[in-house]
Structure 1
Amino acid sequence: MTLQSEPVRPASRYYFPVLKLYQRAFPKEEKVPLVWLLANSRRAGIDFLGWHDGARFVGLTFTVTTKALTYLIFLATAETVRGQGVGSAILDRLAARFDGRLLVLALEPQDDAASNVRQRRSRLAFYQRNGFVLQPYQVVDLGVAYDTMARNGRFAPAQFDALMRGYTGWFYPWYGSKILRK
Structure 2
Amino acid sequence: MSLRVEPVKRNSKDSTRIKQLYKNSFPANEQIPFWFLLWKARKKYIDFSAFYDEDVLVGFTYLISDKDVAFVFYLAIDDKQRSKGYGGLTLSKIRDLYPQNRIILNIEAIDEQANNNEQRIKRKRFYLKNGYKNNGYLVKSGKNWFEVLTKGGDVTPQEYSKLFKKLAGPLLSIFINPKYRNY
Name the TM-score class by shorter chain.
over 0.9
* AA in 2 matched with 1:109: A
Q: 1:9: Cα distance to partner? A: 1.3
Indicate the SS of the match to 2:113. coil
Cα drift, residue 159 of structure 1: 1.5
Quick one: which amino acid aligns to residue 116 of structure 2?
Answer: N
2:57 matched residue in structure 1 = 57
Q: TM-score, normalised by structure 1?
A: 0.94
The aligned residue for residue 8 of structure 1 is 8
Q: Could you tell me which amino acid in structure 1 is paired with residue 84 of structure 2? A: Q
The answer on 1:173 being equivalent to 2:174 is yes
In structure 2, give the amino acid aligned to 1:26. Answer: F
CA contact (8 A) 1:161 1:178 kept: no
Aligned-residue offset at 1:44: 1.1
- The 2-side partners of 1:142 and 1:166 are apart by 18
Q: Which moved more, 1:107-116 or 1:10-19?
A: 10-19
- How far off its partner does 1:154 sit? 1.0
In structure 2, how many angstroms separate the alpha carbons of the residues matched to 1:33 and 1:175?
16
Equivalent residues, number = 182
Alpha carbons of structure 1 residues 28 and 106: separation in structure 2 relative to 1, 3 Å:
same
Shift of 1:143: 4.2
Stretches of structure 1 that go unaligned for 5 or more consecutive residues are none
Q: Distance in 2 between matches of 1:166 and 1:142?
A: 18
Offset, 1:178 = 3.8
Identity %: 26
Aligned CA-pair RMSD: 1.3
The corresponding residue for 2:44 is: 44
* Counterparts of residues 64-79 of structure 1 (less than 5 Å): 64-79=64-79
Structure 2 contact 68–100 (Cα < 8 Å) conserved: no
Unmatched 5+ residue regions in structure 2?
Answer: none
Q: Which amino acid aligns with 1:90?
A: T
TM-score by length of 2: 0.94
Secondary structure of 2:175's aligned partner: helix
Helix, strand or coil at the partner of 2:63? strand
